[in-house]
Amino acid sequence: MRKQIAAANWKMNCTYQQAESLLDDILNNQISLRKHQQVIFAVPFPYLIMANSEVAEEENYFVAAQNCYNKPSGAYTGEVSAEMLQTIGIHHCIIGHSERREHFNESNTTLAEKVSICLENEITPIFCCGESLSVRDTGSQNDYVENQLKESLFHLSEVDIQRLVIAYEPIWAIGTGKTATTAQAQEMHAYLRSVLERKYGSLVADNMSILYGGSVKAGNAAELFACPDVDGGLVGGASLIAADFISIIKSLK
């Protein structure tokens, strides 16, 4: 079975003290994960080392950065490189979240560079894609998301593409409380898998985890994750409430 993943995206939330106790509250629950299940906490940069030491003893729990820069090193004040992440023991990084695309003008081309630089540094990119409401209203969401994959991922080899996790996050569902229906999520996930299959073949496509993101909650996670092509979730708001995220972890297939 391909990996089923509950990924928490804390965004720019929590003080250091809150971050520590949120992690403690979740980890103290000692949810035993099955072999194919993973939990990933994408925390703000200043908390990466602390969070990584908290999960160090836990099987199948990981910590992710929420972004990194598309250049290896140099005069880029304020940026964080993939190599820096690797050297502090971080092996996952969210790439291309819609908030970064919107507020920081990240283009598909820049994201292609970020994906490559992560892989060069043994970091698994959690690559986000997804359409806005205006795109969905015109019915062109499939083409739109396919193009995001083409422009940012299709330079990768058959081996490297499988080192990625993909997260489909319709922008109209992020932080809005408006979740995609299971039918909408399954339809897009199946479409993304077919796009991967056309380019890389069915073995590769079947092997890749595609997470759903956008108002995943304790109350809807099980239903969404039950869709055959939905391999878990990337969770914002609900990942900041220990009891809710625990319930979301327990909803993994």
The residues of the shown chain that bind ligand PGA, judged by CB under 6 A, are 9, 169, 174-175, 213-216, 234-238
Choice among 54, 99, 106, 169 that is catalytic: 169
CB-neighbour burial class of residue 8 (10 A; exposed 0-12, middle 13-18, buried 19+)? buried
Q: Provide the minimum distance between the beta carbon of 195 and ligand PGA in the complex, in angstroms, as a whole number.
A: 21
Report the chain's terminal Cα–Cα distance, integer Å: 10
Q: Provide the minimum distance between the beta carbon of 213 and ligand PGA in the complex, in angstroms, as a whole number.
A: 4
In total, the chain counts a number of residues equal to 253
Nearer to ligand PGA, 174 or 224 (CB): 174
Nearer to ligand PGA, 42 or 153 (CB): 42
Q: Provide the minimum distance between the beta carbon of 236 and ligand PGA in the complex, in angstroms, as a whole number.
A: 2
- The angle that helices 48-55 and 16-27 make with each other, rounded to 10 degrees, is 20
54 among known catalytic residues = no
Is residue 236 within 8 Å of 12, Cβ to Cβ?
no
36 among known catalytic residues = no
| Residue number closest to ligand PGA, CB atom | 236
Nearer to ligand PGA, 232 or 237 (CB): 237
Nearer to ligand PGA, 204 or 222 (CB): 222
Q: Provide the minimum distance between the beta carbon of 103 and ligand PGA in the complex, in angstroms, as a whole number.
A: 12
Residue type (1 letter), 138: T
- Of 52, 21, 23, whose CA–CA distance to 246 is shortest? 23
**CA separation for the pair 250, 173 (Å, rounded):** 22
Choice among 97, 99, 106, 131 that is catalytic: 97
CA dihedral 241, 245, 246, 249 (to 10 degrees): -170
Partners of 232 in the β-ladder: 5
Q: Provide the minimum distance between the beta carbon of 139 and ligand PGA in the complex, in angstroms, as a whole number.
A: 23
Nearer to ligand PGA, 99 or 229 (CB): 99
Q: Could you list the active site residues?
A: 97, 169
